[in-house]
Amino acid sequence: MEENQPKTGKFALNYGLVTGIIGVIFGIMLYIMDMHYEQGAAVQITQTLILAAGIVMAIIQFKKTGNGLLSISEALKVGAGVALIAAIVGLLYFFLLSNVIEPDYLDKVYEIGKVKAMADNPSLTEEQIDQGIEMQKGFAWVMYPIGLIINVVIGLIIGLITGLILKKEEAAY
């Protein structure tokens, strides 16, 4: 009976690529609409919903392929795998955007942050804000591994919730 069980990695890879590509299409749409600097709640929620939909669809397909059986550990593996692959695709797009398509992207993001910081904290001097931005630039590389970790954690949470809802294991007898 174990031979018929599908492999979680195959589903994670396929659905992770599809989810990542849909996320990239969303990013391109934001870029075309000149909204790629906005990181408001609506953009974040939409990106999370794209990821959640990809994970849930992958787990449902995994269960269908596995004769209707699904354990929580399998749901967690598929969820984390889809999230990891989607994050890698998304980070590759972001790297391409910030280094090839629009090389001054991060400088503009820092400038937008500077204006916002000056409006939010009028007691700070421009020199203090510039000093903070220079510190941020030194740690910009950290956003890549943190992005991967956050995506995988979200994938684990969505995988756990979906696994708890759809769980059906083989009878012990």
| Phi, psi angle pair for 66, to nearest 5° | -90, 35
Q: What is the pLDDT of residue 44?
A: 92
Q: What is the pLDDT of residue 138?
A: 76
Q: Where are the domains of the chain?
A: 2-94+144-166
> What are the residues facing 70 on neighbouring strands?
168
Predicted TM-score of the model (pTM): 0.85
CA 17 – CA 28 distance, rounded (Å): 16
Q: What is the pLDDT of residue 4?
A: 64
Q: What is the pLDDT of residue 91?
A: 93
List per-residue pLDDT tens for the chain, 173 residues long: 455 678 889 999 999 999 999 999 999 999 999 888 777 899 999 999 999 999 999 999 999 998 889 999 999 999 999 999 999 999 999 999 888 988 888 778 777 777 777 777 777 777 877 777 777 777 777 888 998 999 999 999 999 999 999 988 877 66
If we measure between CA atoms, which residue out of 47, 80, 76, 75 comes closest to residue 61?
75
CA 28 – CA 31 distance, rounded (Å): 5
| Phi, psi angle pair for 70, to nearest 5° | -155, 130
